[in-house]
Amino acid sequence: MLNTVSKVVSTLEKPLSSAEAPGSIYGFELVNEDPNGVLLFKIGRTERPVPVRQDEWIKKNCFGMDQVWVEDPVHVACCHRVESLVHKRLDEMGFERFTGYCSQCKHRHREIFIIPNRRSWDEVVKPLIEEIEAEVMKRA
Protein backbone atom coordinates (compact mmCIF):
# COMPACT_ATOMS: atom_id res chain seq x y z
CA MET A 1 0.00 0.00 0.00
CA LEU A 2 1.34 3.44 -0.90
CA ASN A 3 2.10 5.85 1.88
CA THR A 4 0.36 9.23 1.84
CA VAL A 5 3.34 11.13 0.39
CA SER A 6 3.47 8.66 -2.49
CA LYS A 7 -0.29 9.06 -2.98
CA VAL A 8 0.13 12.84 -3.29
CA VAL A 9 2.97 12.49 -5.80
CA SER A 10 1.22 9.80 -7.85
CA THR A 11 -1.98 11.87 -7.97
CA LEU A 12 -0.05 14.96 -9.08
CA GLU A 13 1.68 12.99 -11.83
CA LYS A 14 -1.51 11.52 -13.30
CA PRO A 15 -2.95 13.25 -16.35
CA LEU A 16 -6.08 15.27 -15.65
CA SER A 17 -9.33 13.41 -16.23
CA SER A 18 -11.69 14.48 -18.99
CA ALA A 19 -14.27 14.90 -16.19
CA GLU A 20 -12.12 17.59 -14.55
CA ALA A 21 -13.89 20.92 -14.22
CA PRO A 22 -13.58 24.32 -12.59
CA GLY A 23 -15.34 24.78 -9.29
CA SER A 24 -14.90 25.78 -5.68
CA ILE A 25 -13.37 24.15 -2.65
CA TYR A 26 -15.51 25.00 0.36
CA GLY A 27 -15.46 24.21 4.04
CA PHE A 28 -17.73 24.27 7.03
CA GLU A 29 -17.55 23.39 10.68
CA LEU A 30 -20.03 20.93 12.11
CA VAL A 31 -20.77 22.62 15.43
CA ASN A 32 -20.64 20.06 18.21
CA GLU A 33 -20.46 20.28 21.95
CA ASP A 34 -17.29 18.25 22.40
CA PRO A 35 -15.86 19.12 25.82
CA ASN A 36 -12.35 18.44 24.49
CA GLY A 37 -12.69 21.20 21.92
CA VAL A 38 -12.56 18.87 18.93
CA LEU A 39 -13.77 20.58 15.76
CA LEU A 40 -15.22 18.63 12.86
CA PHE A 41 -14.58 20.35 9.55
CA LYS A 42 -15.95 19.30 6.16
CA ILE A 43 -13.83 20.15 3.12
CA GLY A 44 -15.59 19.57 -0.18
CA ARG A 45 -15.90 20.70 -3.76
CA THR A 46 -18.65 21.81 -6.08
CA GLU A 47 -18.88 22.78 -9.72
CA ARG A 48 -22.07 24.71 -8.98
CA PRO A 49 -22.38 27.96 -7.05
CA VAL A 50 -21.39 27.36 -3.42
CA PRO A 51 -24.75 28.65 -2.06
CA VAL A 52 -26.53 25.87 -4.00
CA ARG A 53 -24.29 23.23 -2.40
CA GLN A 54 -24.67 24.92 0.97
CA ASP A 55 -28.47 24.69 0.74
CA GLU A 56 -28.19 20.96 -0.05
CA TRP A 57 -26.04 20.33 3.01
CA ILE A 58 -28.29 22.38 5.24
CA LYS A 59 -31.36 20.45 4.04
CA LYS A 60 -29.60 17.10 4.54
CA ASN A 61 -28.77 18.15 8.10
CA CYS A 62 -26.11 15.48 8.33
CA PHE A 63 -25.06 14.69 11.87
CA GLY A 64 -27.90 16.92 13.09
CA MET A 65 -25.38 19.66 13.85
CA ASP A 66 -25.34 23.33 12.95
CA GLN A 67 -22.97 24.30 10.16
CA VAL A 68 -20.69 27.33 10.14
CA TRP A 69 -19.52 27.88 6.57
CA VAL A 70 -16.30 29.65 5.65
CA GLU A 71 -16.97 32.96 3.95
CA ASP A 72 -14.25 32.60 1.35
CA PRO A 73 -14.36 29.33 -0.61
CA VAL A 74 -11.54 29.04 -3.13
CA HIS A 75 -12.34 28.92 -6.85
CA VAL A 76 -10.04 26.50 -8.69
CA ALA A 77 -9.65 25.38 -12.29
CA CYS A 78 -9.56 21.65 -11.48
CA CYS A 79 -11.82 21.07 -8.49
CA HIS A 80 -11.79 17.24 -8.51
CA ARG A 81 -7.99 16.99 -8.53
CA VAL A 82 -7.46 19.84 -6.07
CA GLU A 83 -9.99 18.46 -3.57
CA SER A 84 -8.43 15.00 -3.76
CA LEU A 85 -4.94 16.40 -3.20
CA VAL A 86 -6.06 18.64 -0.33
CA HIS A 87 -7.52 15.63 1.47
CA LYS A 88 -4.34 13.60 0.88
CA ARG A 89 -2.10 16.43 2.05
CA LEU A 90 -4.19 16.94 5.20
CA ASP A 91 -3.77 13.21 5.88
CA GLU A 92 -0.03 13.62 5.32
CA MET A 93 0.06 16.58 7.70
CA GLY A 94 -1.48 14.45 10.45
CA PHE A 95 -5.04 15.78 10.43
CA GLU A 96 -7.25 12.90 11.48
CA ARG A 97 -10.39 12.08 9.52
CA PHE A 98 -13.68 11.64 11.34
CA THR A 99 -14.60 8.01 10.69
CA GLY A 100 -18.01 7.73 12.34
CA TYR A 101 -21.26 7.19 10.52
CA CYS A 102 -23.70 10.06 10.09
CA SER A 103 -26.66 9.58 12.40
CA GLN A 104 -28.97 11.24 9.85
CA CYS A 105 -28.10 9.67 6.48
CA LYS A 106 -26.17 6.59 7.73
CA HIS A 107 -23.22 7.32 5.43
CA ARG A 108 -19.58 7.74 6.34
CA HIS A 109 -18.50 11.17 5.12
CA ARG A 110 -14.82 10.80 4.24
CA GLU A 111 -14.17 14.53 3.82
CA ILE A 112 -14.62 15.49 7.47
CA PHE A 113 -11.43 16.23 9.37
CA ILE A 114 -10.76 16.79 13.04
CA ILE A 115 -9.02 20.15 13.28
CA PRO A 116 -7.48 21.99 16.22
CA ASN A 117 -9.21 25.36 15.94
CA ARG A 118 -11.38 27.65 13.86
CA ARG A 119 -8.36 29.46 12.42
CA SER A 120 -7.30 26.31 10.57
CA TRP A 121 -9.16 27.32 7.38
CA ASP A 122 -7.25 30.60 7.08
CA GLU A 123 -3.94 29.34 8.43
CA VAL A 124 -3.75 25.85 6.94
CA VAL A 125 -6.50 24.80 4.55
CA LYS A 126 -6.89 27.87 2.32
CA PRO A 127 -3.12 28.31 1.77
CA LEU A 128 -2.89 24.58 1.08
CA ILE A 129 -5.66 24.80 -1.56
CA GLU A 130 -3.87 27.71 -3.23
CA GLU A 131 -0.51 25.90 -3.17
CA ILE A 132 -2.00 22.73 -4.62
CA GLU A 133 -3.94 24.64 -7.29
CA ALA A 134 -0.70 26.31 -8.41
CA GLU A 135 1.09 22.95 -8.57
CA VAL A 136 -1.75 21.30 -10.51
CA MET A 137 -1.87 24.17 -13.01
CA LYS A 138 1.90 24.07 -13.45
CA ARG A 139 1.61 20.40 -14.46
CA ALA A 140 -1.57 20.72 -16.56
Q: Beta strand 74-76 with 66-69: parallel, antiparallel or unpaired?
A: unpaired
Q: Is 11 exposed, middle or buried, given 0-12, 13-18 or 19+ CB atoms closer than 10 A? A: middle
pLDDT tens column, 75-132: 999 999 999 999 999 999 999 998 888 888 888 888 999 988 878 899 999 999 999 9
Q: How far is CA 15 from the centre of its chain?
A: 21
pTM: 0.90
Mean pLDDT of 9-36: 88
Domain edges within the chain: 4-8+20-139
User: Of 117, 86, 127, 76, which is closest to residue 4 (Cα–Cα)?
Assistant: 86
pLDDT confidence of residue 1: 44
In the chain, alpha helices (H): 4-13, 50-60, 79-92, 120, 126-139
CA distance 47 to 79: 7
In 15-49, alpha helices (H): none
Mean pLDDT of 11-29: 93
CA distance 84 to 62: 21
Residue 36 has pLDDT above 80, yes or no: no
Residue 9 has pLDDT above 90, yes or no: no
User: Of 80, 62, 70, which is closest to residue 29 (Cα–Cα)?
Assistant: 70
pLDDT tens column, 78-89: 999 999 999 999
Q: Average pLDDT, whole number, for the chain?
A: 89
Confidence of residue 35 (pLDDT cuts 50, 70, 90): low
**Lowest-confidence segment of 26-30, 60-64, 133-137 by average pLDDT:** 60-64
Contacts of residue 47, Cβ cutoff 8 Å, sequence gap at least 6: 21, 22, 23, 79
